[in-house]
């Protein structure tokens, strides 16, 4: 994470270090990312959750389903993601939460746009966290789902999982939870058809 240089609680402002070169992870060569992503996850999850930390992954997931769910009323979205698809994702999520064995401090919003290149000596740096406590696989799920329409989500789950000791099957299960949310975003903004097709298939 970037170093915090100064804070002003009354103003609600924080000054962070500048990350250089600061290239977003989505603009880095795809072949270089799996080991880098694994190192990033290992470093993030090495930090112990603060005692009494109030935000947990269950609440993060409930908020996401509540926020995104109303978009199913849009006919363009409903044509791809049905109410049964959505309820299936919720049940899959609840199953994963109920079987969660490991709890770590999660970034909580670790997509490719929230990771910057800090150069070869430092590697990747994560920004804009929605910190919560929960399953370590969750921090890898957005990276995995971004493989849709490329090498494939299931294939993308394996390399970062191996790099930082995650359960690849469990990461794939989380990918199926997130897939309908990602599909809604692509359906809304006209994403590539191969990406949408794979995300819809994972949602069923």
Give residue-wise pLDDT tens across range 126-184. 999 899 999 999 999 999 999 999 989 999 888 778 877 899 999 999 999 999 999 99
Place of tokens 């921090």: 139
Q: Which residues, at least 6 apart from 123, have a Cβ–Cβ distance to it below 8 Å?
A: 36, 39, 40, 117
Q: What digits encode the pLDDT tens for the residues 52-98?
A: 889 999 999 999 999 999 999 999 999 999 999 999 999 999 999 99
Q: Is the pLDDT of residue 10 over 80?
A: no
Do 24 and 113 contact (CB within 8 A), yes or no?
yes
Give the Cα separation of 123 and 164 in Å (integer): 15
Q: What gap in Å lies between CA 65 and CA 59, rounded to an integer?
A: 10
Q: How confident is the model at residue 18 (pLDDT cuts 50, 70, 90)?
A: confident
Cα–Cα dist 126/105, whole Å: 13
Helices (H), 46-149: 57-68, 75-78, 83-98, 138-145
**DSSP element (H, E) containing 6:** strand 4-8
Q: Which residues pair with 156 in a beta bridge?
A: none
| Residues contacting residue 193 through CB under 8 Å, at least 6 positions apart | none
Instruction: Judge contact between 103 and 133, C-beta under 8 A.
Output: yes
Contact yes or no for 203/176 (Cβ under 8 A): yes
- Tell how strand 13-16 and strand 4-8 pair up: antiparallel
């Amino acid at each position: 994470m970037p170093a915090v240089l100064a804070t002003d609680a009354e103003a609600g402002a924080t000054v962070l270090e500048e990350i250089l070169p600061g290239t977003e992870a989505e603009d880095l060569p795809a072949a270089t990312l799996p080991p880098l992503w694994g190192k990033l996850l290992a470093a993030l999850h090495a930090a112990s959750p603060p005692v009494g930390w109030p935000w947990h992954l269950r609440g993060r997931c409930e908020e996401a389903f509540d926020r995104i769910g109303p978009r199913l009323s849009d006919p363009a979205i409903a044509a791809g993601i049905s109410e049964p698809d959505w309820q299936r994702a919720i049940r899959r999520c609840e199953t994963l939460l109920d079987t969660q064995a490991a709890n770590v401090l999660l970034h909580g919003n670790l997509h490719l746009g929230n990771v910057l290149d800090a150069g070869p000596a430092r590697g990747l740096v994560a920004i804009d966290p929605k910190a919560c406590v929960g399953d370590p696989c969750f921090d890898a799920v957005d990276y995995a789902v971004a493989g849709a329409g490329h090498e494939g989500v299931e294939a993308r789950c394996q390399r970062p999982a191996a790099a930082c000791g995650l359960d690849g099957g469990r990461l794939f299960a989380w990918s199926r939870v997130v897939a309908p949310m990602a599909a809604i975003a692509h359906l809304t903004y006209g994403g590539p058809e191969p990406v949408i097709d794979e995300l819809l298939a994972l949602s069923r």
